[in-house]
Amino acid sequence: MYGYGMGWGWFGLILMIIFWGLVILGIVYLVKALTGRGASPKEETALDILKKRYAKGEIDAESLRERKRI
């Protein structure tokens, strides 16, 4: 007999492929989450830089208004 009639046949093979695919996807997701490579950093806009420079006192209010207008 050598195993004929035993097991799940093609259905078992499909389940095994789905199971290991999910395991691999889970590992990839976990590695991305732990290393932080999944998130893209937000780029600063010119207005953000102007506001920071104003807050630090590098430029005055008049310069800020003029540069925002430009």
Non-local CB neighbours of 59 within 8 Å, separated by 6+ positions: 50, 53, 67
Tell me, what's the pLDDT at 69? 87
Residues 8 and 32 in one domain: yes
Measured CA to CA, the distance from residue 39 to residue 20 in angstroms comes to 26
Domain of 32 in residue numbering reads as 1-39
Query: For the chain, what is the domain count?
Result: 2
Q: Are 47 and 54 in contact (CB under 8 A)?
A: no
Length of the chain measured in residues: 70
Residues 6 and 33 in one domain: yes
Tell me, what's the pLDDT at 20? 97
Tell me, what's the pLDDT at 36? 75
Residues 56 and 24 in one domain: no
- pLDDT in single tens digits along all 70 residues of the chain: 465 666 777 888 899 999 999 999 999 999 988 887 655 667 888 888 999 999 999 999 999 899 888 8
Residues 14 and 35 in one domain: yes
Q: CA end-to-end span of the chain, whole Å?
A: 85
Residues 6 and 35 in one domain: yes
Tell me, what's the pLDDT at 34? 87
Tell me, what's the pLDDT at 40? 63
Residues 67 and 34 in one domain: no
Determine phi and psi for 56, rounding to 5 degrees.
-80, -15
